[in-house]
Amino acid sequence: MFRRVITGRADGDPRVVSDQRLDPVRPELFQGNTMYLVWGAEEPVKLPTDGEVPAHETFFPMVPGGLRVIFSTILPDAELTPLPEDPTDAVAEAERMLPGITAFSQEAHADHATPSIDFVCVVSGKVDLEVSGGERVTLGPGDVAVQGGIGHRWLNPYPKPCTFFAVLYGAETES
């Protein structure tokens, strides 16, 4: 569904150095929700790029300045696939597909806080951002949430899927 085009230098000339469709990532733990990994890096990128996505080992940026860029589609709550009674295999699968994804919560749609500041822009549909204290805000197309390292979760009580684009930027956290 999503395509990533990367510009840079090849043989010393400026050009499109990579053009590819992104594969959906849909572990059972996501209950039908989908993620597309666009970009990631653990340190500043050296320009011009060669089209290769820089090495990064975990889904969440775990170091200050680390970067992740994703698209995510969240299904309506009523359309989510039930988890198995014992989610051990689902958690293991999610970790194989997205290392570190369960570091902050092993439950689907659970409240979690990550060591990043996240910039989330809704592309289509609606989604609720709920913070740990229970406060909830609805976001729609064009809305941007700046999620600053507090406990939160994403919910879709609406009849249509929600797709958002997010940039996760690793930050320093209080000890």
Give the integer Cα–Cα distance in Å for 57 and 26. Answer: 18
Residue 36: its pLDDT value, please? 97
Per the structure, the complete domain to which residue 10 belongs is given by 3-170
Q: Is 139:124 a contact under the CB 8 Å cutoff? A: no
Is the per-residue pLDDT at 81 higher than 70?
yes
What's the CATH number where 125 sits? Answer: 2.60.120.10
Q: Does residue 28 belong to any structural domain of this protein? A: yes
Residue 48: its pLDDT value, please? 87
Total count of domains within the chain: 1
**Maximum Cα interatomic distance, the chain, rounded to a whole number of Å:** 55
Residue 175: its pLDDT value, please? 63
Residue 106: its pLDDT value, please? 60
pTM of the prediction? Answer: 0.91
pLDDT tens digits, one per residue of 119-131 = 999 999 999 999 9
Query: Could you give phi then psi for residue 129, rounded to 5 degrees?
Result: -100, 120
Residue 114: its pLDDT value, please? 87
Is there a cis peptide before residue 48, judged by omega within 30 degrees of 0? Answer: yes
Q: Does residue 175 belong to any structural domain of this protein? A: no
Query: Could you give phi then psi for residue 40, rounded to 5 degrees?
Result: -160, 150
Q: Which of 23-37, 56-70, 71-85, 100-114 shows the lowest mean pLDDT across its residues? A: 100-114
Q: Does residue 93 belong to any structural domain of this protein? A: yes
Q: Does residue 77 belong to any structural domain of this protein? A: yes
Residue 109: its pLDDT value, please? 61
Q: Which of 3-7, 55-59, 109-113, 155-159 shows the lowest mean pLDDT across its residues? A: 109-113
Residue 108: its pLDDT value, please? 58
| 91 membership: H or E segment, kind and range | helix 88-97
Residue 130: its pLDDT value, please? 95
Is the per-residue pLDDT at 107 higher than 80?
no
**How many C-beta atoms lie closer than 10 Å to residue 71's C-beta?**
19
Q: Is 164:122 a contact under the CB 8 Å cutoff? A: yes
pLDDT tens digits, one per residue of 139-169 = 999 999 999 988 899 999 999 999 999 999 9
**In whole angstroms, how far apart are CA 146 and each of 82, 119, 150, 152, 166?**
30, 5, 11, 12, 10
Give the integer Cα–Cα distance in Å for 13 and 7. Answer: 11
Mean pLDDT across 49-72? 92
**In whole angstroms, how far apart are CA 45 and each of 40, 64, 72?**
10, 14, 24
